[in-house]
Chain A
C-alpha cells in the first residue's frame, strides 16, 4: 500500500528520488576526481608535445650523434604497431630490449594495437599530440600520405645522413618512392614490391579433388573448381569475400592511378574512377554469380575481412594473396594448415601504393628522433634483433635447423614480419627455399616502376569531392564485390552518386595538375 508521507507536501515542491540525487552527486564527485586527474595529464601532454617537436626540428641532424652509443643517455622509445600482442611477447621483448640497450642505449615500449582499432586509435593519438616515437603506417591503414601531409610525421631527409647503413639497406627507387611533397617521411619495410597476385588453396582439398591448378588462367576459371569443391564439402566456404579482379586492378596489370582515378600513361589522360571502370563491372557480375552459388560465407554482408575464425575452424578453401616467393611457408604458418599458392597475374609494376604499403615513420612528437632513427637502422640491418622480433626466442618459439634456417614451434610467438623491417634479413623458415630472398630481389629489380611515381597531387581544392566519392565507394564497393545486389542496378546508383559527388570536377583538377607536372618533366 502506498501511503502519503506528509500531509503538507505539495506536488510542485515535492522532491522525488532525493536519495537518488544524493547518490548521483556522490558518484559525480568521485568521477570528477578521476576526470580532473585525467584532464591534468592531458594538459601536460599537450604542453610538452609542441616544445619537443620544436627542439627536434630545430636541432635537425646536426646534432644527430655519430659517436658511439655508449655516450648516449638511455632512453625509452614508444612504437605503435598494428596487430594483437603475440604469445610469449613479454619474454621476446625483454630479449629485444637487451639487444637495443646494448647497441644503441635504448629500449622500446612495443605497443600493439588491434588491427580493427588501429586507424582510429592512431588518429586520436596524433590529434591529441601525444608524445611517441615510432609508428607503423601504410597506404592502406593509418594512411601514410595523408598523415605526412597533415604534419603528423617528421621529415627524415636530414636525419638519414647520420644512419648510413639504413640508407644503404635498400635501393634509391624506394627512398624516392616514399617521398611526399619532396620529403621522406617513412622508412620502408623492404620486401616484395611488385609480386604477382594470386590465390592460396588448402593443399589437402586440392589433392583430394585432384584439382589442376594450372588450368586457372583468370578469376573466371575458379568458378568450376569452386563448384566441384562446394558439392563435395558443403560446409566449407570457398572464399571469404569477393575480389572482382585480382586486386582491384584487372588481371593485365595495375593501371597507374591517382586517388583511384585511372591514368593512361601514353596519352596522360585521366580516365574512369577505378571502382566504376568497365573492367571492374565484369568482375562484379562474376562475383554476383559466386554469391548466388554460395561460395561466400553466408554472413559476407557483415563479416570483417580480417577475421581469422574461418581459417582457425579449417573451413576456408581459398584466399586471395600476394603470390610472392616463400608465400606458401609464410601462409602455412599463419593459417595453421598447408596451402598451395598459384600466381594469377604477371608481376605488378611498382606503384606508389606498393612502395608505401608498409613503413615506419617517426612522430613529430618524438623527443628522441635521432635515437628513433638509430633504432630503425638497427632493426633494418641487425639480423638478431629482427629475427627475435619476427620469430621469438630459440628453444621457446623456434628451433635452429640449419645455419640460417629455423623450424617454428607451433602456437608460439609470431608477429607480422612485414611490419618490422627489412624482410631480407629473415631466417629461412621450414622448407622455404634458400633462394627465396634472391628470387624476391630479382622480382623487385625486374619490376617496372610506375611512371607516375614522382607525381604527387595537391588534393586541397578537391577535398570535399574526394570525401564524398570515398563515402560512395565505401557504400557500394562492398555490395558490388560480394555480389550482394544486382550489379547493373547497383552500378547505376553508384555512378549517379559519383556524378553528384563531383567526379568530373576531380577529373578536371587532376588532369590540370598532371598536365602541369608533365610540362616540368623533360
Chain B
C-alpha cells in the first residue's frame, strides 16, 4: 500500500516476480478460476437490459432499457423482501462476528489438545451439510405430524404448534439455524489467526501484572481486528444476497411464513420460475451486485478514515 514509485520499477517488478515465482504460481489456479467464473461471465450483465429470446441469443436480443428492473422495484412485496433481506443479513453480520470471535477466544484458552479437537470438529461439522439436509433435520424437529418438538410439547401437556404456518417464531429459527451451521467455520478462521500470536506478549503482560481479561482485550483481540474488518466488509458487500438455501429450504417454502422468511431471492424465483424470464432475474441480481459493490466501497472508505492500516484497499 505504501509502496513508493521508484525509477526502474519495471526491473524491480521483474525481480520481485522472479523471487516470488513459486508463490505466484500457487495463486495462478485461483486467479484463473476467479477470472473464468467471476469475470468472464460478467459480460452477460447486458441481458438485464434486453428482451431476451432463446433464438436471438444474448447479443442479438433487443435492448429495452430499464424495463426489466420495473417488476422488482414496483412490487407490492418490495418492503417486505427488502426488510427481511437487510434485517437478517445485518443480524448475521453481527452474530457472525461476535459469536465466532467469542468462541475463538475460548478455544484459545483451551490447553488440552484432545478437548480442542473434539470441540472444533463438532462445531465444524454442520458446515458440510447442505441446507436441504438441514431443512429436513429441522423438519424432523418441527413438523406437525411427528416432530420431536411437538411430541415433547405434548408430553409436557402443552399444545403442539404447527410451526410451518406460524410466521413469528421463524424470526428466531432462521438466525439459530444460521449460527448453528456457520459458527464452526468462522470460529476456525479466527482461531487460525490467533495461532500466529507470539506467546512472548502474554509472558510480558503477566510480568507486568495484567489479568486474563486485560490480556484478552488488550492483546488477543487486537490481533483479530484486521481479520474481523476484512470479513465484515466482505459480508456487508453481500448484504443484499440472501442465502437462498436457508430462506427457501429451511421454511419449506411455506407461504404462511413469508412475513418473516421472504427475501429478495425467494421472491424472484417465485415470480419468475413459471415464465422463466431470465432477463428479469438478471436485472434483480445486477441490482444486488451494484448495491453490494457500493456498500463495500463505502465501508472500506469509513474503515480507512478511522484506521488506514486496517482498510481492505
B210-247: which residues lie under 8 A (CB-CB) from chain A? Answer: 223
User: How far apart are B307's CB and chain A's nearest CB, in angstroms?
Assistant: 14
Contact status of A468 and B71, CB under 8 A, knowing A152-B55, A474-B270: yes
- Of the listed stretches A9-17, A59-67, A160-168, name the one at the interface; the rest are far from the partner chain: A9-17
Residues of B within 8 A of A127 (CB): 54, 278
Residues of A within 8 A of B256 (CB): 301, 479, 484-485
- Of the listed stretches B11-19, B73-81, B294-302, name the one at the interface; the rest are far from the partner chain: B73-81
Residues of A within 8 A of B208 (CB): none
Query: When the two chains form their complex, are residues A468 and B255 in contact, meaning their CB atoms are under 8 A apart?
Result: no
A1-44: which residues lie under 8 A (CB-CB) from chain B? Answer: 1-4, 7, 9-11, 14-17, 20-22, 24-25, 28-29, 31-32, 35-36, 39
B75 to A, closest residue via Cβ: A468
Residues of A within 8 A of B271 (CB): 467-468, 470-471, 474
Residues of A within 8 A of B101 (CB): none
Query: A53 contacts the other chain (Cβ, under 8 Å)?
Result: yes
Query: When the two chains form their complex, are residues B199 and A16 in contact, meaning their CB atoms are under 8 A apart?
Result: no
Per the bound structure, the CA–CA distance linking A470 and B192 in Å amounts to 48
Query: B2 contacts the other chain (Cβ, under 8 Å)?
Result: no
Per the bound structure, the CA–CA distance linking A17 and B255 in Å amounts to 45
Residues of A within 8 A of B145 (CB): 297-299
User: How far apart are A348's CB and chain B's nearest CB, in angstroms?
Assistant: 22
Contact status of A143 and B275, CB under 8 A, knowing A2-B199, A28-B33, A475-B270: yes
Query: When the two chains form their complex, are residues B198 and A302 in contact, meaning their CB atoms are under 8 A apart?
Result: no
25 contacts between A and B (CB under 8 A): A9-B198, A16-B193, A16-B194, A16-B195, A28-B30, A28-B33, A32-B29, A35-B37, A120-B273, A147-B54, A150-B54, A150-B55, A150-B276, A298-B144, A301-B255, A302-B253, A460-B51, A464-B70, A471-B77, A471-B270, A471-B271, A472-B77, A476-B255, A485-B256, A502-B74
Query: B4 contacts the other chain (Cβ, under 8 Å)?
Result: no
Query: Which of A143, A147, A151, A468 has most chain B Cβ within 10 Å?
Result: A468
Query: When the two chains form their complex, are residues B76 and A299 in contact, meaning their CB atoms are under 8 A apart?
Result: no
Per the bound structure, the CA–CA distance linking A123 and B150 in Å amounts to 40
Per the bound structure, the CA–CA distance linking A147 and B54 in Å amounts to 8
Per-position 1/0 for B17-34, Cβ under 8 A of A: 000000000110110110
Per the bound structure, the CA–CA distance linking A147 and B276 in Å amounts to 8
Residues of A within 8 A of B124 (CB): none
Query: When the two chains form their complex, are residues A301 and B76 in contact, meaning their CB atoms are under 8 A apart?
Result: no
Residues of B within 8 A of A31 (CB): 29, 33
Query: When the two chains form their complex, are residues B276 and A151 in contact, meaning their CB atoms are under 8 A apart?
Result: no
Contact of B144 among A7, A10, A299, A485 (CB under 8 A): A299
Residues of B within 8 A of A150 (CB): 52-55, 276
Query: B286 contacts the other chain (Cβ, under 8 Å)?
Result: no
Query: When the two chains form their complex, are residues A474 and B76 in contact, meaning their CB atoms are under 8 A apart?
Result: no
B77 to A, closest residue via Cβ: A471
Query: Which of B71, B74, B267 has most chain A Cβ within 10 Å?
Result: B71
Query: Which of A2, A17, A25, A471 has most chain B Cβ within 10 Å?
Result: A471
Per-position 1/0 for A438-473, Cβ under 8 A of B: 000000000000000000000010011111101110
Contact status of A497 and B164, CB under 8 A, knowing A16-B195, A36-B36, A150-B54: no
User: How far apart are B84's CB and chain A's nearest CB, in angstroms?
Assistant: 14
User: How far apart are A156's CB and chain B's nearest CB, in angstroms?
Assistant: 15
A contacts with B: majority SS = helix
Per-position 1/0 for B277-304, Cβ under 8 A of A: 1101000000000000000000000000
Per the bound structure, the CA–CA distance linking A126 and B267 in Å amounts to 23
Query: A478 contacts the other chain (Cβ, under 8 Å)?
Result: yes
**A-B pairs, 6 with minimum CB distance:** A14-B196, A151-B55, A500-B76, A302-B252, A4-B199, A471-B271
Query: A50 contacts the other chain (Cβ, under 8 Å)?
Result: yes
Contact of A29 among B29, B223, B273 (CB under 8 A): B29
Contact of B254 among A1, A143, A302, A460 (CB under 8 A): A302
Per the bound structure, the CA–CA distance linking A401 and B139 in Å amounts to 48
Contact of B164 among A22, A301, A467 (CB under 8 A): A301
Per the bound structure, the CA–CA distance linking A468 and B72 in Å amounts to 8
Per the bound structure, the CA–CA distance linking A53 and B67 in Å amounts to 29
Contact of A467 among B144, B252, B277 (CB under 8 A): B277
Contact of B55 among A14, A364, A460, A502 (CB under 8 A): A364
Contact status of A468 and B33, CB under 8 A, knowing A17-B195, A127-B54, A301-B162: no
Per the bound structure, the CA–CA distance linking A21 and B55 in Å amounts to 45
Query: When the two chains form their complex, are residues A35 and B36 in contact, meaning their CB atoms are under 8 A apart?
Result: yes
Query: When the two chains form their complex, are residues B37 and A25 in contact, meaning their CB atoms are under 8 A apart?
Result: no
By a beta-carbon cutoff of 8 Å, the part of chain B in contact with chain A is 26-27, 29-30, 32-33, 36-37, 51-57, 67, 70-71, 74-77, 111, 139, 143-145, 162, 164-165, 192-200, 223, 252-256, 258, 267, 270-278, 280
Residues of B within 8 A of A497 (CB): 76-77
Residues of B within 8 A of A17 (CB): 192, 195
Per the bound structure, the CA–CA distance linking A501 and B74 in Å amounts to 8
Query: When the two chains form their complex, are residues A16 and B192 in contact, meaning their CB atoms are under 8 A apart?
Result: yes
Per the bound structure, the CA–CA distance linking A3 and B200 in Å amounts to 9
Per-position 1/0 for A287-319, Cβ under 8 A of B: 000000000011101100000000000000000
Query: Which of A120, A301, A474, A502 has most chain B Cβ within 10 Å?
Result: A301
A472-497: which residues lie under 8 A (CB-CB) from chain B? Answer: 472, 474-476, 478-479, 484-485, 496-497
Contact of A119 among B33, B71, B74, B274 (CB under 8 A): B274
Residues of B within 8 A of A343 (CB): none
Query: When the two chains form their complex, are residues A478 and B274 in contact, meaning their CB atoms are under 8 A apart?
Result: no
Per the bound structure, the CA–CA distance linking A21 and B271 in Å amounts to 41
Per the bound structure, the CA–CA distance linking A152 and B275 in Å amounts to 13
Per the bound structure, the CA–CA distance linking A298 and B41 in Å amounts to 45
Contact of B30 among A10, A25, A484 (CB under 8 A): A25
Query: When the two chains form their complex, are residues A146 and B276 in contact, meaning their CB atoms are under 8 A apart?
Result: yes
Query: A129 contacts the other chain (Cβ, under 8 Å)?
Result: yes
User: How far apart are B2's CB and chain A's nearest CB, in angstroms?
Assistant: 13
Residues of A within 8 A of B162 (CB): 298, 301
B269 to A, closest residue via Cβ: A120
Contact of B54 among A35, A39, A119, A126 (CB under 8 A): A126
Query: Which of A21, A50, A297, A475 has most chain B Cβ within 10 Å?
Result: A475
User: How far apart are B164's CB and chain A's nearest CB, in angstroms?
Assistant: 5
Residues of A within 8 A of B198 (CB): 4, 9-11, 14
Residues of B within 8 A of A2 (CB): 111, 199
Contact of A28 among B29, B196, B258 (CB under 8 A): B29
Contact status of A119 and B273, CB under 8 A, knowing A4-B200, A35-B37: yes
B37 to A, closest residue via Cβ: A35
Residues of A within 8 A of B71 (CB): 463-465, 467-468
Residues of A within 8 A of B254 (CB): 301-302
Residues of B within 8 A of A22 (CB): 26
Per the bound structure, the CA–CA distance linking A151 and B69 in Å amounts to 22
Residues of B within 8 A of A50 (CB): 57
Per the bound structure, the CA–CA distance linking A36 and B32 in Å amounts to 10
Per the bound structure, the CA–CA distance linking A96 and B32 in Å amounts to 46
Contact status of A25 and B29, CB under 8 A, knowing A3-B199, A15-B196: yes
Query: When the two chains form their complex, are residues B252 and A1 in contact, meaning their CB atoms are under 8 A apart?
Result: no
User: How far apart are A502's CB and chain B's nearest CB, in angstroms?
Assistant: 8
User: How far apart are A309's CB and chain B's nearest CB, in angstroms?
Assistant: 12
Per the bound structure, the CA–CA distance linking A21 and B27 in Å amounts to 10
Per the bound structure, the CA–CA distance linking A484 and B74 in Å amounts to 28
Per the bound structure, the CA–CA distance linking A373 and B308 in Å amounts to 68
Per the bound structure, the CA–CA distance linking A465 and B29 in Å amounts to 45
Query: When the two chains form their complex, are residues A151 and B53 in contact, meaning their CB atoms are under 8 A apart?
Result: yes
Query: When the two chains form their complex, are residues A479 and B54 in contact, meaning their CB atoms are under 8 A apart?
Result: no
